[in-house]
A and B are shown apart, each in its own frame.
Chain A
C-alpha cells in the first residue's frame, strides 16, 4: 500500500490548526478583556472605591510594551 504521507501530514496539521486557532482565540479574548478592564478602572475607582479594592489585583499596564504604569497622580517629580 502506498504511503500517503500527504494524508498523514494533513491529519496532524488539521489537529494543530484547530487547537492552535482555539488557543489564539482565547488569548485574543483575554487581551480584549484586559483592555476593557483597564479602560473601566479609572471610572470605577472614582465611583466605588470600597467595592473595587477587593476585586482586582492586576496593575495598570502600558499597551504595547506591557510594563507596569503608575497613576499620574502618584508620580513625584524628579529631584
Chain B
C-alpha cells in the first residue's frame, strides 16, 4: 500500500537534510534530553542539505563525490538506519544495504553461524536461510573456510561472504557503498555480473570511486558536494565535470573543519 501517487517511484526525497548534533561539552546531551523542548544545547552539523531526489523503479543510480561529502550518510538515511533531521523521505520496497561489508561479522563464530545471523538481520526467515545456504556458500566460493571462525578470514573472504548473503535477500532496492573494492578482480566481476542481473528487476543505488563501474552500471549519476547535489544526469557527462573539478580543486587540508 503506497501513499505516493505513482507506484513507480521507489525513493522520493524532498528538501532532505541531515544534521548531526555536536555538543560543546560532554554533559550537554543530558541537558538536551531533559530540556530539549525548551532550547537546544547542540550545534547542528549539516551533513546533507536540500536533497531532492526521485528514483524510479528499475533505475540504477551512481553516486559520486569526494570523501566526507555525505554520500554514505545519504545511503544510511535512505536505508532507514538513521532518520533525516529535515525534509521528507519516502521509500517503498525491501532494501538490502550492502554497506561496510563484513564489519557486522562476529569474528569468533564460523562463517556458517554468521550467515544464519546475517540473514536474520537482513530480514530472512530461518527456513529461508537454511534453504539458500548452499547457494550462498557457492556464490561466496570460500570452500572449507565456511566452517572456520571468521577471525581466520582475509578481508577479501569476509567481503565475499558478506556480499553473498546480501545477494540472496531478494531485495527490491539494492544499496551498495564502495563495497567491492577489496575483492579480487574475478570476484568483482562476479559481483558486477550479479548486479547487472539484478538491475533487470530491481533498483540500484551505487557509490563507487571507480568511474568505470559507474559508467558500466548506472543509468544516472549524481554528484554530491558538501551535502548538496551539485550535478545529476547522464553518467558520462557528470563524470566528466566531476573529473574536471577534481583537477581544479586541490585536496584542501581544511575541508573537514566545521564551516557552520
| Chain A complexes with chain B | no
Give A contacts to B, CB under 8 Å.
none
